[in-house]
């Protein structure tokens, strides 16, 4: 049987890793796929030859559209990232009847509905395992391994940069800005770290997981997104005193009014396995009605871990080249005509517990006033700590945990608390999830 010919778009960190894995493990991959897989063409404006295996057998140019238009190519592997020209390249590949593998979470989250519809019409496959959590096979787990389950919720640490920053803040008491600078120096964070630290990268990934779990269209614009830049070392310390750890979580849950879709800092009980995932590692916790909670842990980024997922997709596509398109695994786990119109819940309707930290005047009646506002809003306090003022200081930090309540009620209560003359404006609020 003739080899399957692959065209690589991008020879950077992931593209180079993909080429190396395909060359290094060629014999093993052929045994698994049932036929040889070879990279024959690649497109890259800039790349380093050093460390790239088998590059002498690849035709490399700077025109990605030339690779997509090449009639010899069976599978196009898009590893350039971003929205454009990735979208145009993928759609052109599909139009030309080529299968596509991509690691581009932004592309799938923003344009996946359009891309999958085009692929369905042309009878080709778009595979995207590497788009979420790097080398962790979470897409396949949710789409195939847990297909018998009614998925109840997913909670994941799906951005290694944010997890590294929070780990360093907890372990060493460092400030956010200090750790971010180190993360940039180590290559964990980009020069512009906005996508990582403000939750946009995680929101792209969570959007994909929610569609796979609940059979809804991709709706990135409905995902509530909050970053970690306002977390202070004292919040990390207080969380520990209450028996919690702060993690930047992506959470999607089937709720009474629809689907929750949210990314934000979250307090998790320190005994939970996911609370002990540190550094740049990723972890995704999935709760199914039949299987119960399952945890998927591993490297969420990096050359070879991500290449592992990319090559696994290439092998899957190779196996399905002779399969009837109508009988392939659906892109978003559910048959295209069976996607649900369940709405994504507005954040105001989400119910969760809260950690609150405020700076209060050190005088009688302040705690009672705050508790009174919370009580009027139907918010019950679970635990509270009031620190002693430092010598010469007239203000003290007041920290509390609440029981579960609707976000709208908490927003209204915080507005009233901040209006008190005894409370400094800027109440810090972090949501709490016990992941039971």
**Residue 394, burial from CB neighbour count under 10 angstroms (0-12, 13-18, 19+):** exposed
Q: Which residue do the tokens 């930290």 mark?
A: 357
Contact 75, 6 (CB under 8 A): yes
Parallel/antiparallel/unpaired status of strands 405-406 and 75-78: unpaired
Q: Is 205 a catalytic residue?
A: yes
* The two three-digit tokens of residue 103, written as one number: 């690691």
Per-residue three-class SS string for the chain: CCCEEEEEECCCHHHHHHHHHHHHCHHHHHHHHCCCEEEEEEECCCCCCCCCCCHHHCEEECCHHHHHHCCCCCEEEECCCCCCCHHHHHHHHHHCCCEEEECCHHHHHHHHHHHHHHHHHHCCCEECHHHCCCCCCHHHHHHHHCCCCCEEEEEEECCHHHHHHHHHHHHHCCCHHHHHHHHHHCCCCCCCCHHHHCCHHHHHHHHHHHHHHHCCCCCHHHCEECCCCCCCHHHHHHHHHCCEEEEEEEEEEEECCEEEEEEEEEEEECCCHHHHCCCCEEEEEEEECCCEEEEEEEECCCHHHHHHHHHHHHHHHHHCCCCCHHHCCCCCCCCHHHCCCCCECCHHHCEEEEEEEEEEECCCCHHHHHHHHHHHCCCCEEEEEECCCCCCCCEEEEEEEECCEEHHHHHHHHHHHHCCCCECCCCEEEEECCCC
β-sheet bridge partners, residue 246: 267
Catalytic residue among 205, 247, 287, 416: 205
Contact 395, 362 (CB under 8 A): yes
**C-alpha separations of 115 from 22, 44, 70, 75, 127 in Å:** 26, 23, 20, 15, 11
* The two three-digit tokens of residue 250, written as one number: 């992506």
Catalytic residue IDs? 205
């Amino acid at each position: 049987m003739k080899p399957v010919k692959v065209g690589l778009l991008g020879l950077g960190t992931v593209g180079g890793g993909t080429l190396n894995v395909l060359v290094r493990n060629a014999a093993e991959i052929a045994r698994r796929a049932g036929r040889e897989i070879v990279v024959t063409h690649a497109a890259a404006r800039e790349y380093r030859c050093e460390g790239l295996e088998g590059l002498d057998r690849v035709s490399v140019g700077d025109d990605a559209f030339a690779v997509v238009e090449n009639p010899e190519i069976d599978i196009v592997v898009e590893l350039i990232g971003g929205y454009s020209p990735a979208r145009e390249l993928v759609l052109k590949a599909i139009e030309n009847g080529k299968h596509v593998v991509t690691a581009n979470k932004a592309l799938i989250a923003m344009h996946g509905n359009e891309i999958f519809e085009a692929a369905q019409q042309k009878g080709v496959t778009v595979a995207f395992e590497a788009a979420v959590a790097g080398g962790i096979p979470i897409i396949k787990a949710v789409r195939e391994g847990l297909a018998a389950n009614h998925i109840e919720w997913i909670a994941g640490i799906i951005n290694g940069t944010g997890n590294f920053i929070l780990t360093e803040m907890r372990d060493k008491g460092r400030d956010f800005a200090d750790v971010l600078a180190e993360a940039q120096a180590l290559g964990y964070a980009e020069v512009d770290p906005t996508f990582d630290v403000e939750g946009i990268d995680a929101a792209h990934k969570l959007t994909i997981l929610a569609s796979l779990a609940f059979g809804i269209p991709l709706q990135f614009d409905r995902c509530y997104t909050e970053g970690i830049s306002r977390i202070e070392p004292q919040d990390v310390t207080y969380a520990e005193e209450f028996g919690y750890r702060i993690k930047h979580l992506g959470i999607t849950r089937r709720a009474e009014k629809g689907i929750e879709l949210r990314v934000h800092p979250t307090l998790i009980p320190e005994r939970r396995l996911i609370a002990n995932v540190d550094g740049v590692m990723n972890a995704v916790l999935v709760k199914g009605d039949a299987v119960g909670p399952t945890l998927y842990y591993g490297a969420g980024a990096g050359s070879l871990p991500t290449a592992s997922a990319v090559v696994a997709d290439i092998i899957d596509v190779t196996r399905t080249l002779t399969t009837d398109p109508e009988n392939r695994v659906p892109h978003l786990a559910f048959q295209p005509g069976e996607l649900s119109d369940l709405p994504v819940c507005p954040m105001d309707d989400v119910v969760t517990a809260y950690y609150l930290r405020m700076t209060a005047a050190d005088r009688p009646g302040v705690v009672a006033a705050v508790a009174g506002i919370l009580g009027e809003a139907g918010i019950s306090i679970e635990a509270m700590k009031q620190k002693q003022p430092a010598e010469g200081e007239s203000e003290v930090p007041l920290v509390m945990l609440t029981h579960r309540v609707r976000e709208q009620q908490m927003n209204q209560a915080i507005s009233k608390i901040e209006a008190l003359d005894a409370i400094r404006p800027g109440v810090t609020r972090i949501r709490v999830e016990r992941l039971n």
